[in-house]
Amino acid sequence: MIRTKSEISDIMRKVKGQGTSPEILFRRAVRKLGFRPTLNPTNIYGKPDLAFQKYRVAIFIDGDFWHGNQWMRRKLPSLDHQFSKSNLRTRWAAKIRKNMSRDSAVSARLSDEGWSVLRFWESDIMNNLNWCVSTTVDAVNSAPAPKENILAQKTFAEFFAGIGLVRMGLERQGWRIRFANDCDSKKREIYSGHFTDAHQHFLLGDIHRIDADQVPSVTLATASFPCNDLSLAGARGGLHAKNSSAFWGFIRLIEQMHDRKPPMILLENVPGFITSHKGQDFRQALSALNELGYVVDPFLLDAVNFVPQSRLRLFVVATHTSLPHSFPSPPPNFQSESILRPKLLSSFIKQNSDLLWYLRTLPCPPEKRTLLADIIDALPNSDASWWNQERKEYLFEQFSPKHREIALQMINRRSWSYGTVFRRIRNARSMAELRTDGVAGCLRTPRGGSGRQILFKAGYGKYYVRLLNPLECARLMGADQYKLSPDIQINSALFGFGDAVCVPAIEWIATYYLNPLINELIRSRPAWQ
């Protein structure tokens, strides 16, 4: 039974909505058009509210409160803000996030079983019944062969995977790995020691030599490409230099995936990317994503909000414009400076208003609850890891007068306290800088022993010095449960963690950005094409 849009509108005007629930209102509307769907069929996974079993179309009418839309309608920064005045806010938010996750899983499974799935908010039924019914009629009348529901699957490909910490963060929030790639065999070995399924999806090799056909269709592609040529600590060769030019290998792959391009992309790099070559490198990267059909949303997030490590990083979420969603660009007078988009970044956005932006409102990240002392192994003072007298005195002599005074104050206390030391070259001299605020400096990628952070323990008139070990570095990255094979060399492990992404930072992005966006996008559409 095929009706025109005009005929559907005429019938909808005759459907009385006052005093009825959204589900009853919708059911009454489709019956007016001559359809007789099955109500709450128990033989269909997820028990949809209505099902057109002959056409294999399943309809879910989701309550805005219980399925995570009310906070969006109220224009709040996050779901948590909806319960800011409730003593049970953690419980309520967790329950609703569980519903959101289940919605995606149900939609993905039904799609795999050959169903077209439509999800409507109750508010859409009440405010735009005509559109909801028209969408349903189109799905029933066309009865297309169901396509893979990429959005609902929440799958990802992890490029520049390293030891897999992006994977660890995403999996904690309900995402599933389908592909990983890195060119470093030592990192691949560490990855395999923790993720025993690496042989199923990890492709070792140069990204410039990967064929797009080797990459499966996924919801999200992540790329933590090399920062060597973008970092303020490096030579600043830029996005076309030897290491950081790997970004263009990633762009080539995405382009060659054609109609299989992932709906979403997540980039990660150092803040120096914003100013590299006076901002031209960052602009080129974002322009390349625009040209592939993506709108972009950059923000800065520091690991110190989650773990006792200062590690500020730039993230960019790119969302494909073919998705049935509204992606407004900021006006030329964009004035949205915030913790996540500070002056450096907000100024860049204003100066490049011709780029295609999609800037979501995000909540402020949490304040850390752990200190350096909380992640340190309680080794006895006699342990062989502590440096001998000569070696630790040599370090002490490398302190500046200011830092030496701080160290002496720690030594004279009647309690143990901890700091981290990092060696830097100042005026052609190797200097040791002591940090004592309970936070470690940014973990680096040590080569030949340089760049490794040093632990300084002092009190009761004594002091002890040793290097941070791999497990302590894992904790500083929020990867407390990471399994390291005893065969892995210490420097290889430290290189892996120093070149990785903070796990809880990725979790935060998934919780407050990726998952809510997926929750919006799976509504009112059978699949992302």
What pLDDT digit, counting tens, does each position of 136-161 carry? 998 888 865 556 789 999 999 999 99
Show the DSSP H helices in 113-184 as ranges. Answer: 122-127, 129-142, 150-153, 165-171
pLDDT at residue 71 in the model: 92
Query: Is CATH 3.40.960.10 the classification given to domain 5-146?
Result: yes
pLDDT for residue 235: 67
pLDDT, position 241: 82
Domain boundaries 151-366+501-519, CATH class: alpha beta
Report whether 501 contacts 165 (CB < 8 A): yes
Across 352-375, average pLDDT: 91
Positive or negative: CA dihedral 95, 100, 105, 111: positive
Stated pTM of the model: 0.92
pLDDT band for position 260 (cuts 50, 70, 90): very high
Task: Give the burial class of 70: count Cβ atoms within 10 A of its Cβ; 0-12 exposed, 13-18 middle, 19 or more buried.
Answer: middle
pLDDT 10s digits, 126-136: 999 999 999 99
Dump pLDDT digits (tens) for 24-71: 999 999 999 888 999 999 999 999 999 999 999 999 999 999 999 999
Dist. CA 430–CA 283, nearest whole Å: 36
- Report whether 475 contacts 165 (CB < 8 A): no
- Residue-wise pLDDT for 370-381, tens only, equals 999 999 999 999
Q: Return the domain boundaries, the chain.
A: 5-146, 151-366+501-519, 378-468
Half-sphere exposure (Cβ direction) of 427: Cα atoms closer than 13 Å? 2
367-388 residues labelled b (16+ CB within 10 A) or e (exposed): ebebebeebbeeeeeeeeebbe
Whole-number Å distance between alpha carbons of 10 and 3: 11
Q: How far apart are CA 51 and CA 378, in angstroms?
A: 60
What is the pLDDT averaged over residues 435-463? 84
**CB proximity list for 339: less than 8 A, separation 6 or greater:** 364, 365
Three-state DSSP class for 489?
coil
CB atoms within 10 A of CB 31: 12
pLDDT in the model for residue 18: 42
Sequence length of the chain is 529
**pLDDT confidence of residue 331:** 58
| Residue range 209-251, pLDDT digits in tens | 999 999 999 999 999 998 887 876 666 778 888 888 899 999 9
Q: Provide φ and ψ at 519, rounded to 5°.
A: -60, -35
Give the mean pLDDT of 389-409.
95
Contacts of 352 (CB under 8 A, 6+ apart): 279, 283, 286
**Is the distance from CB of 82 to CB of 76 less than 8 angstroms?**
yes
Average pLDDT over the chain reads 89
